[in-house]
Amino acid sequence: MEDVQEQQKSQPLGQEDEGEIVTESVGFAQSVAPQDGSCPPIVDSKVEVLHDKVTKQIIKEGQGQKPSKYSTCFVNYRAWTESTQHKFEDTWHEQQPLELIIGKEKKEMTGLAIGVSSMKSGEHALLHVGWELGYGKEGSFSFPNVPPMADIVYEVVLIGFDETREGKARSDMTVEERIGAADRRKMDGNALFKEEKWEEAMQQYEMAIAYMGDDFMFQLFGKYQDMALAVKNPCHLNMAACLIKLKRYEEAIGQCSLVLAEDENNVKALFRRGKSRAELGQTEAAREDFLKACKFAPEDKAIAKELRMMAEHDKALYEKQKEIYKGIFGPRPEPKLKSTNWLIIFWQWLLSLLHRLFRRERVKAD
Specify the CATH number for the domain of residue 136: 3.10.50.40
> How many structural domains comprise the chain?
2
pLDDT tens digits, one per residue of 298-311: 999 999 999 998 88
Same domain? 182 vs 222: yes
pLDDT above 70: percentage of residues in the chain: 83
Q: Which of 199, 136, 165 is nearest to 70 (CA)?
A: 165
Please give the residue range of the domain that contains residue 57. 26-33+42-162
- Please tell me whether residues 198 and 299 are part of one structural domain: yes
- Answer whether residue 361 shows pLDDT above 80: no
> Model pTM?
0.63
Residues 6+ positions from 199 with CB-CB distance below 8 Å: 30, 242, 246
Judge whether 327 lies within some domain: no
The predicted pLDDT at position 143 comes to 83
Residue in 205, 222, 69, 89 with CA at minimum distance from that of residue 153:
89
**pLDDT exceeds 90 at position 345:** no
pLDDT tens digits along 82-103: 999 999 999 888 777 888 999 9
- Residue 29 predicted with pLDDT over 70: no
Is residue 129 in some structural domain? yes
pLDDT at residue 16, rounded to an integer: 37
Which of 215-224, 274-283, 350-359 shows the lowest mean pLDDT across its residues? 350-359
Going by C-beta distance under 8 Å and a sequence separation of 6 or more, which residues neighbour residue 288? 274
The HSE-up count of residue 138 (CA atoms within 13 Å, CB side) is 5
Q: Which residues of 91-102 are buried (b: 16+ CB within 10 A; e: fewer)?
A: bbeeeebbbbbb
pLDDT for res 35: 53
Residue (of 142, 158, 140, 157) closest to 81 by Cα position:
140
Q: Do 150 and 223 fall within a single domain? A: no
C-alpha closest to that of 213 among 98, 105, 96: 96
Q: Are 109 and 75 in contact (CB under 8 A)?
A: no
- Give the CATH number of the domain where residue 237 resides: 1.25.40.10
Residue 352 lies in a domain: no
pLDDT score, position 329? 58
Question: 354 in a domain, yes or no?
Answer: no
Kindly state whether residues 144 and 190 are assigned to the same domain: no
* Neighbouring C-beta atoms of residue 345, cutoff 10 Å: 10
Position 126 pLDDT exceeds 70: yes
For the beta carbon of residue 199, count every other beta carbon within 10 angstroms.
15
Please check whether residues 183 and 292 belong to one and the same domain.
yes
132 inside domain: yes
Q: Are residues 217 and 247 in the same domain?
A: yes
Dihedral sign of CA atoms 281, 282, 288, 293 in order: negative
Q: Say whether pLDDT at 17 is over 60.
A: no
Mean pLDDT, rounded, of the chain: 83
- Integer-rounded Cα Rg, in Å, for the chain is 36
